[in-house]
Amino acid sequence: MAKYLNQKPILVAVDCIIFGYDGEHLKLLVIKRAIEPIKDQWSLMGGFVGENEDLNGAAKRILLELTGLHDVYLEQFCAYGNPERDPIERTISIAYFALIDINKYSKQINDQYHAEWFKLKEIPALIFDHDEMVRSALAKIRYQAALHPILFELLPKKFTIPQLQTLYEQVYDSPIDNRNFIRKITASGLLIKQTEKDKSSSKRGAFYFKLDRQKHRSQFQSFLNFIR
């Protein structure tokens, strides 16, 4: 088989930045690195792309192997190619972010690699350039969430307006005016009000809502900037 002359092979890896929401806090899932160098240090979920894999297939496989998670929202957002980013060999990493409802997947997390959830402000120092990846992923999510309702991937099928508002406040790290938020989310037409109420925090309770996924798919264009 013909090969390109004078070209040294470069390793290609995939790293997954997994964000989860438990109804109160936005969190990041990290693991203890299983190999040298810096074994047992906190790391994103990552691994090398197989010879016969495409990037999306590798990301899904790595996610399943390291955490037990599958069928989650995954989006490729950046590539990292600093020649010094890996001290062992030249490695280019393709980064993906994932959004999940922690309560839905809590029993699915594989503890073989000591996977652990951390609140965003309590994330430990991560290996290599993984801290930079997390910052970039969060910036990308903030941008996306202002245009499209991607944050609904972090919510259960039924949720309350306060839960939704808390999620947006966590993502943007900023308080949101309650009345303005309710007005905008109601005007979007994307929510279906349920007859049931969540009374866990008050006797009066708060109505549950569902995302109108059919309308979501047909109107997946300009959304709402809830933080303005």
The residue extents of the domains of the chain are 11-147, 157-218
In CATH, the architecture of 11-147 is Alpha-Beta Complex (3.90)
Residue-wise pLDDT tens digits, 3-24? 888 888 899 999 999 999 998 8
Q: How confident is the model at residue 67 (pLDDT cuts 50, 70, 90)?
A: confident
What average pLDDT does the chain have?
A: 88
Name the fold adopted by 157-218: Arc Repressor Mutant, subunit A (1.10.10)
Question: In the 8-state DSSP scheme, what is residue 33?
Answer: -
Whether 157-218 and 11-147 are alike in CATH topology: the answer is: no
Residue-wise pLDDT tens digits, 121-168? 999 999 999 999 999 999 999 998 887 788 999 999 999 999 999 999
User: Residue 209: CB partners within 8 Å, gap ≥ 6?
Assistant: 158, 159, 160, 161, 164, 191, 192, 193, 194
Which DSSP string corresponds to 134-189?
Answer: HHHHHHHHHHHHHHS-GGGGGS-SSEEHHHHHHHHHHHHTS---HHHHHHHHHHT-
